[in-house]
Structure 1
């Protein structure tokens, strides 16, 4: 889980997760599509199969205002423009007609350039508040194309240079003179044709303009585009909106194959298909044969929210009486069930299979000695901490509210004479039987914890002993992913339960000392899992603590782990559960590490300067959280 130091520093860039999530929510609102996800790619992009739209990295490493406005303009174009107003069928027909043309790349990107101009103008008129973002976009891209124009002419990339010049002419005005000698190409004629773009009302209108320009220049340009400037239409091919049904199905079972007219329709059709294919009732299928008729008349409808449980192990052989023993029965009852995450924990974890199992206490002499020694060393800290909290509770109980209209009569009756409206009564605060709080503690179980395992156990043990003494409900669990068995189809995860809510005040010190490090970690998934358990509790104050030593790392999770964890934290906070993070490190954390955890956990993240201070930091966090509970009781 420890963050790696990349050889090339600019490859170590981290995304501002919370800002990206805000952009994503804006995109969902404009497109009216709550399933949309937003990423950052080289160019603007649509990926219907994944339900993803991508803004461009073009806006990185610029001034803050320019970056923000540029990214907003990307989102406006993707969701308020192309989403509903770009004709997919016209685009597919256009590509089919130019399939064998030597300048097919230039033709496609020219059409997208014209469509971007049409969309920008349409959005600005419909939503005047977007004008500033598009003005900044226009200025930045004009500078880009002017620079590329000179560079492409020097390299004899004539097709690229023409696309650059057409962009400049379109946005600066048709009457703007070109600074490049185009030789036999009549650029004035191209400008007159380009002028029609100002009146274009549809994708079909711009298709006509693009075809005319290509017809004029095809005699003079013998090489297609070298670079790529637009990738918006790459995923919109002829098979985008069609699905491969099982050959045995009848036409009636397949349903109507309507062509998708807009990007919105394409995305929604793929989203519906993916939702139908989720759930345990579709663990296997024959291509898209799920709609076929069954011979059975008593089949139960599938429930996509159901959990997969392993209950049939198939270990019996021959006569049941000969092979079934009490020992086997115990093994069966102790075996934990595995569950499939499905849609319950976010799109990043669709193929996660997880199990919740008790950490078996290792009854070793060494662990028993450690437990006695550590508790003896921590005893003064636990005693003083518990006494401090109890004094605060007593002070809270003894304090009284004075100057009330009714209640007990105060001994200070001067208010009867001095005040116009005397309030000589008071009330004592009702005593609290116990702290109205619940805690969940997640402990990173990845392999990088090996060098700090004992110190982590001491901190967790202190956490456990303090809350037991104060009679505060809590649950402690490690989390890790089985990296050796993880694949694209299945990612096994394990929650090692050291102490659960049903254990109440049971001493689970031996289980804590039996905790061990394993492989990878999937933080966002673990946070959502613990949040679900805390949400079921009745206590007023709910806290989720995460002890970890680096960034998330699991199968297919490296790229989106930081963003997914930040989103999980935001979701949990909205549910009324406070998420607090303690960074476990053997040395002083770097600025990059601090910034990374701020991205994921906001300002509720703390770090230790050394392994010896894990326990001190744990007490400091508990002191602050319990003070909040006492104050608001």
Structure 2
């Protein structure tokens, strides 16, 4: 779970999870599409098959104001501009026309640049609040294209230089100085054509301007673009806009094979398909046969004496066993408790298959000696802590309920004279000796926990003993992903139950000591799993503690693990479950690590300077949380 430092520092950079979620929710609101997801890539673009829009890394390494405004402008353009106002059919016609043209990339990116100019103006008029972000966007991009103009012209990248010059002309006007570069092109006429972009209202009109410019330079420019400036149209092709069905389906689902007119229609179609089905349709053309009718021409008469050559079994879970170890599959009499996550635990975990299994207590001399020794050392801390909490409960001031129809008579009897229906009685609330709280503890079961396993067990044991003494319901579970069998199609996960809500006040100290480390960890999934278990409880205060030693790491989870964990934490908090993180490390965390934990868990993340302090930090966290419960 502990993250290794990459050789190139840039690869270690991560966008603030809170900010990315903010941009994502803004994009969903602007596009009116609650399924949209947002990532950061080299250039801002669409990914319809995955339901993703991406903002650009171009805005990094600037002042916070410029970074925020630049990213906002990407979100505005993608979800309020291209989303509804970019004509997909016109774009496809334009692409097909220049498919084999020597200046294909120049032509396509020129049209996208013209569309960016048109849509910035359209969005700004529709939503005046976007003007500040677009103003900063223009300033930064103008500076970028000026620098690139000189660089590309010096390197004889004429197509690139012309695109840079056209961007400057579009946003600064026809009075832009074009004499700093010796153009072997009719540059004045080209700039004049570009000036008509201010009057264009549709994609087709912009396509005509792009065609005129390409026609003027196609004989004069030998080489196409060297660099890429726009990727927003790359994913919008025939494969994403037209769905192919079996021949027998064309009448049954008439109209579905027609091209989509807007980016919004493409996204909604792919989303509808991914919701109703699962599997390879996310990567290949859709091939359907849901409502087809056979004519019986290829049927074969049955034969009751025929030998059975092949058997099949329904439900895909039957094939999951091949992904687990031989030992697990061959245990006699063992019933499979495997469950599929599906879409219930977030998009990152669609292919997760998980199992909840009680950890078997190892009752050997080593564990018994450890248990007695550790409890003897922790006994004073547990006893003093429990006594402190009980005193807090006893000293809690009785609350009075006034204006009742029956109870104790109040000393203030003016209500008998003033009120039409006097209620002069009151009652005292008797504080409950039982704390109205429930706890869930998730313990990272990844391999990186091996060097601090004993200290972790001590902290978990202290947590268990304190809550048992206070009669507070709690559940303790480890979590890990089986990296040996994880693949693109299936990611097996395991929850090792050390103590459950059904165990109540049972002493599970030996079970805690029997916990062992395994492989990877999928934090966002584990948090959602424990949140579900806490939400069915009736206690008022619900707490979820996560003991881990770094960032999430699992199959296909490295890139989005931090964001997914943050989203899982926010979901839990929104539902009334407080999530608290304790960083388990053999040394004091670095500033980068602190920033990472803050990104995932907000201000509810604690750490220790050494492994010896795990129990102290656990006790401190419990004291704070139970103080909230006592009130």
TM-score (ref. length: structure 1): 0.89
Residue pair 2:89, 2:260 contacting (<8 A) in 1 also: yes
SS in 2 for 1:62: coil
SS in 1 for 2:49: coil
The residue that corresponds to 1:145 in the other structure is 145
1:456-490 deviations in whole A, cap 9, x for unaligned? 11111111111111111110000000001000000
SS in 1 for 2:123: helix
SS in 1 for 2:238: coil
1:246-296 deviations in whole A, cap 9, x for unaligned? 56x44234543111000001111111111111399x99x99633514589x
The residue that corresponds to 1:189 in the other structure is 189
Segments of 5+ residues of structure 2 without an aligned counterpart are 295-313, 323-328
The residue that corresponds to 1:320 in the other structure is none
Kindly state the Cα deviation for residue 8 of structure 1 after the two structures are TM-superposed: 2.0
The residue that corresponds to 2:512 in the other structure is 512
Check 1:97–1:348 CA distance in 2 against 1; reply closer, same or farther (3 A cut).
same
The residue that corresponds to 2:166 in the other structure is 166
Q: Does residue 1:536 correspond to 2:536, yes or no?
A: yes
Check 1:401–1:512 CA distance in 2 against 1; reply closer, same or farther (3 A cut).
closer
1:492-543 deviations in whole A, cap 9, x for unaligned? 0000000111111111111111100000000000000000010111111000
The residue that corresponds to 2:304 in the other structure is none
Q: Does residue 1:33 correspond to 2:33, yes or no?
A: yes
Superposed counterparts of 1:375-414, under 5 Å: 375-396=375-396, 399-401=397-399, 408=408
Residue pair 2:239, 2:285 contacting (<8 A) in 1 also: no
The residue that corresponds to 2:581 in the other structure is 581
The residue that corresponds to 1:251 in the other structure is 250
Q: Does residue 1:341 correspond to 2:337, yes or no?
A: no
Q: Does residue 1:556 correspond to 2:556, yes or no?
A: yes
Structure 1: how far apart are the matches of 2:9 and 2:320?
51
Residue pair 1:308, 1:340 contacting (<8 A) in 2 also: no
Superposed counterparts of 1:204-223, under 5 Å: 204-223=204-223
Structure 1: how far apart are the matches of 2:60 and 2:209?
33
Residue pair 2:486, 2:492 contacting (<8 A) in 1 also: yes
Structure 1: how far apart are the matches of 2:477 and 2:431?
33
1:53-89 deviations in whole A, cap 9, x for unaligned? 0111111011111111111111000000000010111
Check 1:148–1:433 CA distance in 2 against 1; reply closer, same or farther (3 A cut).
same
Check 1:186–1:278 CA distance in 2 against 1; reply closer, same or farther (3 A cut).
same
The residue that corresponds to 1:318 in the other structure is none
1:229-253 deviations in whole A, cap 9, x for unaligned? 0011011111212334356x44234
Structure 2: how far apart are the matches of 1:166 and 1:610?
59
Could you say what the CA RMSD is over the residues aligned between the two structures, in angstroms?
2.7
TM-score (ref. length: structure 2): 0.90
1:106-157 deviations in whole A, cap 9, x for unaligned? 0000000100000001011111111111111001000000000000001000
Structure 2: how far apart are the matches of 1:480 and 1:616?
25
Structure 2: how far apart are the matches of 1:237 and 1:469?
64
SS in 2 for 1:363: coil
The residue that corresponds to 2:101 in the other structure is 101
Structure 2: how far apart are the matches of 1:362 and 1:224?
69
Superposed counterparts of 1:298-377, under 5 Å: 331-332=332-333, 334-377=334-377
SS in 2 for 1:28: helix
Kindly state the Cα deviation for residue 378 of structure 1 after the two structures are TM-superposed: 1.1
SS in 2 for 1:498: strand
The residue that corresponds to 2:267 in the other structure is 267
Structure 2: how far apart are the matches of 1:5 and 1:84?
42
Residue pair 1:246, 1:287 contacting (<8 A) in 2 also: no
Structure 2: how far apart are the matches of 1:54 and 1:426?
61
Structure 2: how far apart are the matches of 1:103 and 1:588?
56
Residue pair 2:249, 2:292 contacting (<8 A) in 1 also: no
Check 1:425–1:369 CA distance in 2 against 1; reply closer, same or farther (3 A cut).
same
Residue pair 2:475, 2:499 contacting (<8 A) in 1 also: yes
Check 1:206–1:255 CA distance in 2 against 1; reply closer, same or farther (3 A cut).
same
Number of aligned pairs?
596
Kindly state the Cα deviation for residue 337 of structure 1 after the two structures are TM-superposed: 1.1
The residue that corresponds to 2:2 in the other structure is 2
